[in-house]
DNA sequence: AGAGTTAAAACTGTCGACAGTCGGCAATCG
DNA sequence: CGATTGCCGACTGTCGACAGTTTTAACTCT
């Protein structure tokens, strides 16, 4: 009963309508087809997508749990908008998670993990040379995701994934600004070197610097493009 | 699937049906009226609660995002069961979050925060003297929640809340085991002392010790009561 | 003309129903 | 007697509809 390694299920088993709608909404929000604070009409969405409202509602709840949408009772779902404080909080939590992860990883830095991370840095450098801002950011996030993965704590990885959804919420704002490919490369090689050294202190320094740079970059980008400090958008 | 003894209809009167169902399910799961790995039938739940399936489905999705349920396509929702590895991961992430929080808190330890935490320790000590295991644990968690709260990062607090839902999944298993009231008290006074000292190193030591004790306590409790290592319950 | 009031339109929350699918059971075949 | 195949029941995924509420727009009065 052994199946071929390449999953044939992918061809046969079309995924749920809920997941399809969720994917569509996620992409639409990330690509700013729906602007922050904008209200999403269930009926209009279901009409546009050719499905009923039930899958749309469930998909919206899914995205709400991921922090991409906010629901107001009897009002519907709104695209989440991050203000400056929330953005700081997101990066602070990211620092918290990645500090922990890199130190755990340093404790059990297998050759496999080393190889995977080095390969991903190569891919990242390649992407950094292009003009595709979205791809640069995705490959960057993928590198960090790999770090979290090889740190060996699934729950930690899930927390990181939850966070990246919110990151993507505003990160497209800065895809236009072009960070120098060299900077990106060195920045990540520093992390690899720190892992090779095996020193917790060095790892911590490296990740602190790395995320600090990323935070400044995003905060600056959001500040320039116009931040969303409208408090009405964020009911408790 | 035996219906919990508490009258269901009484719950369903006031706010969002979805949230009411979610609260009901949460309580039922925490109080082990639904056992880990057990399947929840949408139709039966909706019949028992006197609502239609839509709110039940949405509530189930909510609980899935909180890690209390797991959905299998075309099969339905199952009560999440934590195996030993996942439990370790949960406590590792908790350590990560609380380490960060207590150090942030030490940086901005206002009198208000100090007072609130001291008061909560009093409440906790009072609860520790009783035989109400659930209340002991809730007051304990509330103390830690306050720490996270006064650390001043809403997103960090949310991550912690997400985690506590999973903690409660298995924590009731040990409500019977009775930790000495003195131990609980000293354990938390240590944290207050560390915060008063203002030393990051001391804070870190205190929280490491504190959570280490809690982890050992829970892991031991789960090990005794019978762990759920059934891999079938955890599809990717 | 502007502010307040009221009526209509649109939308969300909830419901019951239908169809496709999954798991189990029995009958059949080797 | 064991394995396989076809069938049956139960359940999930999805849909369209109704009721209550919110928003919008028209309308009246000053």
pLDDT, tens only, A68-89: 999 999 999 999 999 989 999 9
Closest chain B C-alpha to A90 CA, distance in angstroms: 6
pLDDT for position B236: 32
Q: How confident is the model at residue A163 (pLDDT cuts 50, 70, 90)?
A: very high
CA of A74 to C1' of C21 (A): 34
In 3-state terms, what secondary structure has residue A99?
A: helix
Nearest CA in chain A to B17: A73
Which of A196-206 are b and which e, b meaning 16 or more Cβ less than 10 Å from the residue's Cβ?
Answer: eeeeeebbbeb
**Is the Cβ–Cβ distance between A70 and A80 less than 8 Å?**
yes
| % pLDDT > 90, chain A | 70
Query: What pLDDT is recorded for position A182?
Result: 81
Q: How many CB atoms within 10 Å of residue A174?
A: 20
Query: Smallest CA–CA separation between B29 and chain A, in Å?
Result: 20
pLDDT recorded at residue B41? 94
**What's the Å distance between residue A203 CA and nucleotide C27 C1'?**
67
Closest residue of A to B85, CA-based? A153
Q: Which residues contact A125 (CB under 8 A, 6 or more apart)?
A: A181, A184, A185
The rounded distance, in Å, linking the Cα atoms of B194 and B218 is 24
Residue of A38, A159, A101, A99 whose CA lies nearest to B155: A159
Which nucleotides along chain D are within 7 A of a protein C-beta? 10-17, 21-23
Record the pTM.
0.88
Q: Could you give the dihedral angle defined by the CA atoms of residues B171, B177, B179 and B180, in that order, rounded to the nearest 10 degrees?
A: 160
Minimal Cβ distance to A16: which of B73, B97, B99? B73
> Which chain B residues are closer than 8 Å to A9 by Cβ?
none
Tell me which residue in B73, B92, B97 faces A153 most closely, judged by beta carbons: B92
CA-to-C1' span, A4 to D4 (A): 23
C-alpha–C-alpha distance, residues A145 and B48, integer Å: 43
Task: For chain B, report the end-to-end CA distance as a whole number of angstroms.
Answer: 25
Confidence of residue A110 (pLDDT cuts 50, 70, 90): very high
Min Cα separation A71/chain B (Å): 12
User: Taking CB atoms and an 8 Å limit, are B155 and A62 in contact across chains?
Assistant: no
CA of B71 to C1' of C22 (A): 15
CA nearest to nucleotide C16 C1': residue: B52
Min mean pLDDT across A171-175, B42-46, B78-82, B202-206 is at A171-175
Q: Averaged over B215-226, what is the pLDDT?
A: 72
| Residue B4 confidence (pLDDT) | 40
**Residue B72: which H helix or E strand, with range?**
strand B69-72
Q: Which residue has the higher pLDDT, A180 or B139?
A: B139
pLDDT digits (tens, 9 = 90+) for B124-139: 999 988 888 888 889 9
- pLDDT tens digit sequence for A113-157: 999 999 999 999 999 888 888 888 899 999 999 999 999 999 999
Q: Residue A172: which residues within 8 A CB-CB, separation 6 or more? A: A30, A31, A32, A133, A134, A137
Q: Do B156 and A92 touch (CB under 8 A)?
A: yes
Q: What is the mean pLDDT of chain A?
A: 86
What phi and psi, each to the nearest 5 degrees, are found at residue B201?
-65, -45
What integer pLDDT is reported at residue A14 of this predicted model?
57
Q: Which of B49, B52, B53, B54 has the alpha carbon at shortest distance from B23?
A: B49
> How many angstroms separate the CA atoms of B176 and B172, rounded?
8
Report phi then psi at B143, rounded to 5.
-60, -50
- The alpha carbons of chain B give a radius of gyration, in whole angstroms, of 19
C-alpha to C-alpha distance for B143 and B153, rounded to whole angstroms = 16
């Amino acid at each position: 009963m052994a199946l071929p390694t390449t999953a044939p299920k992918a061809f046969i088993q079309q995924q749920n309508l809920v997941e399809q709608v969720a994917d569509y909404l996620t992409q639409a929000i990330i690509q700013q087809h729906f602007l922050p604070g904008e209200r999403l009409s269930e009926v209009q969405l279901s009409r546009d997508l050719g499905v009923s409202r039930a899958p749309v509602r469930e998909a919206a709840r899914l995205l709400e749990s991921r922090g991409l949408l906010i629901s107001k009772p009897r009002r519907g779902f709104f695209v989440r908008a991050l203000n400056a404080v929330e953005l700081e909080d997101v990066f602070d939590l990211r620092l918290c998670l990645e500090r922990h992860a890199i130190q755990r990883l340093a404790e059990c830095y297998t050759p496999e993990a080393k190889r995977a991370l080095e390969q991903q840095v190569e891919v990242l450098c390649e992407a950094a040379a292009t003009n595709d801002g979205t791809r640069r950011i995705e490959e960057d996030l993928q590198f960090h995701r790999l770090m979290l993965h090889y740190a060996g704590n699934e729950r930690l990885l899930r927390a990181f994934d939850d966070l990246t959804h919110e990151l993507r919420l505003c990160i497209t704002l800065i895809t236009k600004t072009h960070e120098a490919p060299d900077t990106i490369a060195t920045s990540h090689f520093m992390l690899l070197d720190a892992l090779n050294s095996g020193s917790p202190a060095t790892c911590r320094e490296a990740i602190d610097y790395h995320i600090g740079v990323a935070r400044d970059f995003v905060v600056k980008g959001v500040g320039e493009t116009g931040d969303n400090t409208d408090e009405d958008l964020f009911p408790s």
